[in-house]
């Protein structure tokens, strides 16, 4: 009997391995920007970190990351990063996570930053995902499900904010790259810029009934109708799928209509691309100061969007009742 036990156990081993493979979800991060970016990864509270929490991604490169069943978290791109030649500390003008290193190590993106948010295997076994501008905008992002939606589960729609919003950004929300105020690097949210409850959906505005779109959030929504523009922008900005892997593309190719809108919004005479590649000896004015500020406030970024099962459950019910 002993000689047959390997034949019996091997199929069970293969079945176990198969189920493990099915349970894992692959996120592939792709850089189509004309410059290097430094993606950051933050798991939701109580979720395990992925194999990396931050890395460099050169122009044209991609990197896959595997996530376990039920994982939730967010991805973003740090931009205009530079390493201090004396200390080796990494600092970024946008999306800095305050670690001073490639790895973010549990730090979230300091606004402004465009976010791709996920909660896998949420209510009803669905993955919930979105592109969020609630924390502002620093570059275009596309989230594309691959291979999911069997049995009609979830809409499995590609979600994007593929417009260059820097040209359309109101002057009071702009983050500039140079000391003279020129060269728009990112666009803040009104909450981050003004710290007022009506923009932050806080205090007496902390409910969907009280917190409504503002003229500032509508700038984001008009340019990127699929993306979250403020905290309670659930109905048109929450998407679902099941059994899919996901490709997250930074600086995707915009559609024809988006190109036209972007060109109309662009300030006359402004350069089409304002973000050059930075190496370890180049530091932008204000980068180090912004990074130090981010580390002094290195509490986790307030959770908005799809960052928990409870939020996912509420959104699903909201969508089904719409």
Q: How many other C-beta atoms lie within 10 A of the C-beta of residue 181?
A: 10
CB-neighbour burial class of residue 37 (10 A; exposed 0-12, middle 13-18, buried 19+): buried
Q: Where are the beta strands (DSSP E) in the chain?
A: 25-31, 38-43, 62-67, 72-83, 90-94, 115-119, 127-132, 141-146, 159-161, 174-176, 184-187, 239-241, 245-250
- Has residue 78 got a pLDDT over 90? yes
Closest Cα to residue 216, out of 141, 140, 139, 134? 134
In whole angstroms, give the CA distance from residue 73 to residue 96. Answer: 17
pLDDT digits (tens, 9 = 90+) for 96-132: 999 999 999 999 999 999 999 999 999 999 999 999 9
Instruction: For residue 200, give Cα distances in angstroms to 130, 138, 168, 171, 249.
Output: 19, 19, 21, 19, 28
Give the pLDDT confidence score for residue 266 in this predicted structure.
39
Residues linked to residue 174 through DSSP beta bridges, in sequence order: 187
Span of 8-22, 45-59, 207-221 with lowest mean pLDDT: 8-22
Span of 49-53, 77-81, 301-305 with lowest mean pLDDT: 301-305
Confidence of residue 58 (pLDDT cuts 50, 70, 90): very high
User: Phi and psi (nearest 5°) for 266?
Assistant: -65, 135
Domains, the chain, ranges and CATH?
A: 25-164+233-266+275-321 (2.60.110.10)
* Dihedral in degrees, nearest 10, Cα atoms 68, 226, 61, 184: -130
Confidence of residue 254 (pLDDT cuts 50, 70, 90): confident
pLDDT digits (tens, 9 = 90+) for 156-197: 999 999 998 988 999 999 999 866 556 889 999 999 999 999
Computed over every residue of the chain, the mean pLDDT equals 79
Confidence of residue 48 (pLDDT cuts 50, 70, 90): very high
Give the pLDDT confidence score for residue 267 in this predicted structure.
34
Confidence of residue 22 (pLDDT cuts 50, 70, 90): low
SS3 state at 135: coil
Give the pLDDT confidence score for residue 181 in this predicted structure.
56
pLDDT digits (tens, 9 = 90+) for 139-151: 999 999 998 876 6
pLDDT digits (tens, 9 = 90+) for 198-223: 999 999 999 999 999 999 999 999 99
| DSSP output for 8-37 | HHHHHHHHHHHHHHHH-EEEEEEE-SSS-B
Query: By percentage, how much of the chain surpasses pLDDT 90?
Result: 64
Who's near 105: CB < 8 A, 6+ residues apart? 53, 54, 97, 99
In whole angstroms, give the CA distance from residue 161 to residue 170. Answer: 18
Give the pLDDT confidence score for residue 179 in this predicted structure.
61
CB 32 within 8 A of CB 251: yes
pTM equals: 0.76
Give the pLDDT confidence score for residue 255 in this predicted structure.
54
In whole angstroms, give the CA distance from residue 6 to residue 29. Answer: 40
């Amino acid at each position: 009997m002993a000689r047959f036990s390997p034949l019996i156990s091997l199929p069970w081993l293969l079945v176990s391995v198969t189920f493990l493979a099915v349970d894992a979800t692959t996120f592939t991060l792709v850089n189509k920007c004309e410059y290097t970016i430094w993606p950051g990864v933050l798991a939701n509270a109580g979720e395990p970190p992925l194999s990396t929490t931050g890395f460099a991604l050169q122009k044209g490169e991609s990197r896959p990351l595997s996530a376990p069943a039920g994982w939730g978290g967010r991805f973003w791109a740090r931009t205009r990063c530079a390493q201090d030649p004396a200390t080796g500390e990494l600092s970024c003008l946008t999306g800095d996570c305050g670690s001073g290193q490639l790895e973010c190590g549990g730090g979230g993106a300091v606004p402004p930053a465009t976010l791709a948010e996920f909660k896998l295997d949420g209510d009803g076994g669905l993955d919930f995902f979105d592109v969020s501008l609630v924390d502002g905008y620093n570059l275009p992002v596309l989230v594309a499900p691959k291979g999911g939606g069997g049995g009609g589960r979830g809409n499995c729609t590609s979600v994007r904010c593929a417009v260059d919003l820097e040209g359309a950004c109101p002057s009071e929300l702009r983050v500039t790259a140079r000391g003279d105020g020129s060269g728009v690097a990112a666009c803040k949210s009104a909450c981050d810029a003004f710290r007022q409850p009506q923009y932050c959906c806080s205090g007496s505005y902390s409910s969907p009934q009280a917190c409504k779109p503002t003229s500032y959030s509508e700038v984001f929504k008009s340019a990127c109708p699929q993306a979250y523009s403020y905290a309670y922008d659930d109905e048109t900005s929450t998407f679902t799928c099941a059994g899919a892997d996901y490709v997250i593309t930074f600086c995707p190719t915009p559609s024809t209509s988006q190109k036209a809108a972007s060109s109309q919004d662009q300030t006359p005479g402004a350069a089409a691309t304002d973000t050059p590649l930075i190496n370890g000896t180049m530091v932008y004015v204000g980068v180090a100061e912004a990074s130090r500020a981010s580390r002094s406030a290195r509490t986790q970024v307030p959770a908005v969007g799809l960052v928990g099962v409870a939020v996912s459950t509420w959104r699903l019910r909201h969508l089904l009742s719409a």
